[in-house]
Amino acid sequence: MFRGRELNKSINPDEAVAHGAEQPCHNNLVNTHKFPNLHMVIVNVNSTIPARKKRTVSIYSDNQQATLIKVFEGERAMTADNNILGKFELTGIPPAPRGVRQIHVIFDLDAKGILNVSAQDKSTGKETKITITNDKCLSKEELERMVSEAEKYKNEDEAQRQRIGAKNALESYAYNMKSTMEDDKMKKKVSKVDRKTVIDKCAEAVDWLDKNQTAEKDEFEYQHKKLEKVCQSIITKLYQAGGPGGFAEYSLVTKLCNILKHTKFQIKRDNASVLQFFVLVLLLHQYL
């Protein structure tokens, strides 16, 4: 049962591939923060086939050595409301901090409606894949029923997508800031007191997330904004006092890029975030 509604089992999941193949961002085997899985659309309904799409995802947890890729069909925002077509595991990923390892996921949909999905670890080239076959076509009625349900819950799905997006943005920002301040290069550029302040506040944010998984979008955004205010003055001091040599380290630049990405998510809400955004742009410009 999905939210009180029966799963429509009259549709063979394999048959829906040609009409709408979709994939979650990634569902990790060692995910300690069990956020609901949002998906990204890979092949839209009524897309011209053959089609080939590629997405890059990052590893979710520190030192994670395996990830589980799940392939869904449907048009709902959450994977729990769609039909799973198949899943496969990519193993042997070298241990690294969260967000460093990149996984390329490639979707190949041929003219016969057969879907090949592969996942490759960018650092090692190791690859695994799955083939999902399509023996029949959906009837017009079945396809319309799927589309109708997606339209019916469109507003609800969009609200849920934004809520989860705000939650994930807060979590990513907290982990990236904490990881950056723990970097050996940063220890030479940021005072012990400032580093401890950021690390402690990030830990508080993660702890709050663990205890408030079902919070509303505004609550996640409020916590994100609070954390940004703490980090803003320290990042500004880092830019003002910084000099060449410390930021060439790839891992550190990667972390700054991740922070920049999640700061950009916030800039529509306040001028302080706009300032932080441009400070990070200047940091990256100076050291890249």
Write down the pLDDT at residue 74. Answer: 75
Write down the pLDDT at residue 223. Answer: 96
1, part of any domain? no
- The residues that bridge with 120 in the sheet, in sequence order, are 104, 127
CA atoms of 58 and 39, how far apart (whole Å): 14
CA atoms of 232 and 212, how far apart (whole Å): 25
6, part of any domain? no
Question: How many helices, marked H, and strands, marked E, lie in the chain?
Answer: 7, 9
CA atoms of 100 and 90, how far apart (whole Å): 16
When divided into structural domains, the chain yields a total of: 2
Write down the pLDDT at residue 234. Answer: 84
Q: Token pair for residue 113? A: 């409606």
* Same domain, yes or no: 140 and 198: no
Query: Is the distance from CB of 40 to CB of 86 less than 8 angstroms?
Result: no
Domain-terminating residue out of 118, 152, 186: 152
Q: HSE on the CB side for 43, CA within 13 Å? A: 27
* Same domain, yes or no: 251 and 136: no
Write down the pLDDT at residue 222. Answer: 96
Domain CATH code at residue 195: 1.20.1270.10
User: 241 lies in which domain range?
Assistant: 157-287
Domain-terminating residue out of 152, 167, 187: 152
Write down the pLDDT at residue 270. Answer: 46
* Same domain, yes or no: 58 and 73: yes
* Same domain, yes or no: 22 and 140: yes
Q: Which residues contact 69 (CB under 8 A, 6 or more apart)?
A: 23, 26, 27, 87, 88, 89, 90, 105, 117, 119, 130
Domain-terminating residue out of 105, 122, 152: 152
Relative orientation angle of helices 271-287 and 250-264, to the nearest 10 degrees = 160
Query: Is the distance from CB of 225 to CB of 217 less than 8 angstroms?
Result: no
Query: Is the distance from CB of 76 to CB of 112 less than 8 angstroms?
Result: no
Three-state secondary structure call for residue 100: coil
Each residue of 238-254: pLDDT tens digit? 776 654 444 334 445 55
* Same domain, yes or no: 101 and 168: no
Cis preceding-peptide flag for 50 (omega within 30 of 0): yes
* Same domain, yes or no: 65 and 82: yes
Write down the pLDDT at residue 197. Answer: 94
* Same domain, yes or no: 20 and 103: yes
* Same domain, yes or no: 193 and 276: yes
CA angle 80, 86, 91 (to 5 degrees): 105
CA atoms of 11 and 2, how far apart (whole Å): 16
Report yes or no on whether pTM surpasses 0.95: no
Residues of the chain below pLDDT 50 = 1-36, 136-137, 243-251, 264-274, 285-288
* Same domain, yes or no: 202 and 175: yes
- The residues that bridge with 69 in the sheet, in sequence order, are 88
- The residues that bridge with 27 in the sheet, in sequence order, are 68
